[in-house]
């Protein structure tokens, strides 16, 4: 999508293309490797029981857990497989209620012995210290088969994501490099962000900080005369890698100087 040229009047601007909720969920679940697993308590029937839970992802994006038979959540799962996994943004700063998070609902079941090899490899790649206990007799791999997803992207941004859309989506291509891009822009190009905000979002700001970036654009947090606010700015074209994003940002900054 080509970003339009806007005056700095602060007038309402057309909606800016964003990634789908399903893509944002897949990106968040991909980036984070620890969540909060809620199971149904055996001791206090009907009550949710929360546990800190490291996880990996198999090739289909099913969360994989390595858990002990002694753990309370394991006893709960064996009695009732229905569970949920809350995943939050790992690098969130500021007000946590404004940060993205996702709740996966599904059934947590043992991984059959004949299927363990690949989930084991993927889990250890993300949790290498687990090699010290992965082969203990009382530890086993479990897999969550996702049946529904609820996403919260911040204030006023929320909705259900069908499991079929979760499974068919892919993490954003900038997922692994987003933190570096954000830090670089905020540290070295704060003035450029102010120009980009004025040129492509129509907002005059005294300060601007990039808070997220994806293949279609980025979000900024702004300090304006009217207070703090946020905005989304579309890239002039879709990007597929960090080098591509850098080129687009350079081109858009040059264009902003001419507006």
Q: pLDDT tens, position by position, for the chain (259 residues)?
A: 333 333 333 444 456 789 999 999 999 999 999 999 999 999 999 999 999 999 999 999 999 999 999 999 999 999 999 999 999 987 665 566 667 899 999 999 999 999 999 999 999 999 999 999 999 999 999 999 999 999 998 777 899 999 999 999 999 999 999 999 999 999 999 999 999 999 999 999 999 999 899 999 999 999 999 999 889 999 999 999 999 999 999 999 999 998 8
Closest alpha carbon to 208 in 194, 224, 218, 219: 194
pLDDT of residue 8: 37
For 252, what's the count of Cα atoms within 13 Å in the CB-facing half-sphere? 29
Tell me whether the CATH fold assigned to 21-168 matches the one assigned to 178-257: no
Query: Could you tell me the CATH superfamily of domain 21-168?
Result: Electron Transport, Fmn-binding Protein; Chain A (2.30.110.10)
Helices and strands in the chain, H and E counts: 7, 11
Full-model pTM: 0.85
Q: Which two tokens stand for residue 102?
A: 């996702």
Residues 205, 153: Cα–Cα separation, whole Å: 24
Residues 103, 23: Cα–Cα separation, whole Å: 14
Fold classified for 178-257: Split barrel-like (3.20.180)
- Contact (Cβ atoms closer than 8 angstroms) between residue 134 and residue 127: no
Q: Which two tokens stand for residue 17?
A: 């293309």
With tokens 């670089």, the residue in question is: 184
152: part of which helix (H) or strand (E)? strand 139-154
Residues 228, 13: Cα–Cα separation, whole Å: 18
pLDDT of residue 94: 56
What distances in angstroms separate CA 10 from CA 7, 13, 208, 239, 258, one per listed residue? 8, 8, 15, 27, 19
Beta bridge partners of 162: 148
- Contact (Cβ atoms closer than 8 angstroms) between residue 23 and residue 173: no
Residues 93, 124: Cα–Cα separation, whole Å: 28
Domain boundaries, the chain: 21-168, 178-257
Residues 171, 75: Cα–Cα separation, whole Å: 33
**39 CB neighbour count, 10 Å cutoff:** 25
Closest alpha carbon to 234 in 202, 204, 258: 202
Beta bridge partners of 144: 108
Helix 242-257 with 190-201: angle, nearest 10 deg: 70
């Amino acid at each position: 999508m080509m970003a339009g040229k806007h005056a700095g009047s602060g007038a309402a601007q057309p909606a800016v293309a964003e990634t789908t909720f399903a893509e944002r969920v897949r990106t968040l679940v991909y980036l984070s490797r620890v969540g909060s697993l809620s199971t149904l308590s055996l001791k206090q029937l009907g009550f949710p029981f929360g546990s800190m839970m490291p996880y990996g992802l198999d090739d289909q994006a099913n969360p994989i857990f390595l858990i002990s038979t002694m753990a309370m959540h394991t006893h709960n799962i064996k009695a009732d497989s229905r569970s949920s996994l809350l995943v939050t943004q790992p690098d969130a700063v500021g007000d946590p209620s404004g940060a993205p998070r996702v709740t996966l609902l599904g059934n947590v079941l043992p991984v059959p012995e004949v299927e363990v090899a690949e989930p084991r490899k993927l889990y250890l790649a993300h949790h290498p210290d687990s090699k010290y206990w992965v082969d203990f007799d009382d530890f086993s791999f479990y897999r969550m088969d996702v049946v529904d997803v609820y996403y919260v992207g911040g204030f006023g941004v929320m909705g259900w994501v069908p499991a079929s859309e979760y499974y068919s989506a892919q993490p954003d291509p900038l997922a692994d490099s987003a933190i570096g891009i954000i830090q670089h822009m905020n540290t070295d190009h704060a003035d450029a962000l102010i120009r980009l905000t004025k040129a492509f979002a129509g907002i005059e700001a005294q300060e601007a900080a990039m808070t997220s970036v994806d293949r279609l654009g980025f979000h900024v947090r702004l300090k304006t005369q009217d207070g703090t606010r946020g905005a989304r700015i579309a890239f002039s074209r879709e990007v597929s890698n960090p080098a591509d994003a850098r080129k687009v940002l350079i081109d858009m900054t040059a264009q902003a100087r001419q507006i």
